[in-house]
Amino acid sequence: MKLMKQFTRSAALVATLALSHSALAADSMDLDALLKTLEQGKVAQSAENKEREQAFMARENEQLQMLRQAEQTRNAKLQESEQLETRFEENEVKLAQLSDTLQNRMGTLKELFGVLQQEAGESANKFATSVISAQLPGRDEFMEEMAQKMGSSSKLASIEDIEKVWFELQREMTEQGKVTRFNTEVIVAGGAKENKEVLRVGAFNLIADGKYLEYNNVTDTLSELTRQPVDRYTASAQDLQQATDGFVQFALDPTGGSILGLLVQAPGTEERVHQGGTVGYVILAVGALALLIAIERFISLLIIGSKIRRQLKDDVARDDNPLGRVMKVKDQYPHVAHDTLELKLSEAILREMPKITRNLTLIKIISVVAPLLGLLGTVTGMINTFQAITLFGTGDPKLMAGGISQALVTTVLGLVVAIPTVFLYTLLNTRSKNLLLILQEQSAGLIAERSEKGA
């Protein structure tokens, strides 16, 4: 700013000189006036320089005063820092002395607190996953706080805290041997919450309405298992929940739910059938066809056999049974020779044979085809398995599980269909042959009778 003022004044002086020069030129170079003008400008510049020097000296004094204040402040802070450092060192010595005193006074209590910390930490983990916490929540939080408290050297356990730890451990052991009922909210299928009576079997299982429950220690909630175990387990759960006294057979999980979780993951019969895929469905359809045919043949042969046995007791031939229709051939040809009658009776028996042996061949074919279909499913499953191995390698067994499962399931389904079908075919074939044997036997008797009459 001062430079600007000086520049402005110089410019004014130059302008004045220029004007003076013009005036001198105009007034024929008035040298006296010019000299006077220069003297006035010099006097003004000297006064201005003095003012600037005085201002600079005044500011120098201010800077010196500020410097002295800063040095005083620095010296005070250094002195305070030395005092704080000395106090810190003294506190360190006192703290070390107090720590030694604390360690000496604690003595054997230190070992006790270490054991207490260990037991509280382990118990907190056990209580968090125990199904008993579904009925008695909040125990793990106290144990965890106790373990953290014992981990700090500045906090000691009180007699009340030690007694409470002992009480919780004793209560856990006591509750493990009880079968207790209590009411709480249960998350059912669909996500809705319902207040139900829950039966707790020690520290092993929780059941409600004959269904197994799962305890989630993170959300502190009970929920029904998405998949329940097979009927024999749920039936025992219903019996136990309905019982009031005595002994009841019940399938419990000693691991607190681990085995039950694996058990419910095992596929049921229906799921195993679905694993067979298209080939499995075809095998079941063929097996169902064979079963229907076998039932129809069994009923038909049973009816035919009863009618033939009734005809054996009657001398009058009837048209409602094969034996009666064969016996009528003798009446239709009363005067033919016995060899001709034999041919006529054989022809009548051959007419009755298709009705008696109908569809038995189809059952036999199904009993042979079913294992072949199972083999087809086995080959298909193994092809899928090898394709999975080719694409993804053998690092993940789950990738191969689908193909192997299909292969094994179709084989089992084929055998399940084939074995009973073979027995059914054998049974029905034997029964039909017995009926045909009766017809042949009676036919032989009729020929013998005609032969005796002819003789």
Do 44 and 123 lie in one domain? The reply is no
> pLDDT digit string (tens) for 273-310?
777 778 888 999 999 999 999 999 999 989 988 888 88
Do 425 and 291 lie in one domain? The reply is yes
Asked if the structure places residue 93 within a domain, the reply is no
pLDDT at 296: 92
Residues of the chain under the 70 pLDDT cut: 1-30, 34-35, 38-43, 103, 105-110, 152-156, 255-258, 261-269, 393-403, 454-455
Do 164 and 241 lie in one domain? The reply is no
pLDDT at 313: 83
Instruction: Confirm if 178 and 135 have CB atoms less than 8 A apart.
Output: no
pLDDT at 369: 92
Do 116 and 203 lie in one domain? The reply is no
Asked if the structure places residue 441 within a domain, the reply is yes
User: Which of residues 235, 264, 293 is at a domain's end?
Assistant: 264
Do 333 and 422 lie in one domain? The reply is yes
Do 313 and 388 lie in one domain? The reply is yes
pLDDT at 197: 87
Q: Looking at the 3D structure of the chain, how many domains does it have?
A: 4
pLDDT at 110: 65
Do 172 and 187 lie in one domain? The reply is no
- pTM to 2 decimal places: 0.53
pLDDT at 21: 47
Do 242 and 167 lie in one domain? The reply is no
Do 355 and 409 lie in one domain? The reply is yes
Do 448 and 310 lie in one domain? The reply is yes
pLDDT at 24: 41
Do 316 and 439 lie in one domain? The reply is yes
Asked if the structure places residue 90 within a domain, the reply is no
Asked if the structure places residue 95 within a domain, the reply is no
Asked if the structure places residue 358 within a domain, the reply is yes
Asked if the structure places residue 281 within a domain, the reply is yes
Asked if the structure places residue 102 within a domain, the reply is no
**Which range marks the domain in which residue 69 is found?**
2-85
Asked if the structure places residue 139 within a domain, the reply is yes
Do 442 and 405 lie in one domain? The reply is yes
The secondary structure of residue 321, as a DSSP letter, is S
User: Which of residues 50, 85, 120 is at a domain's end?
Assistant: 85
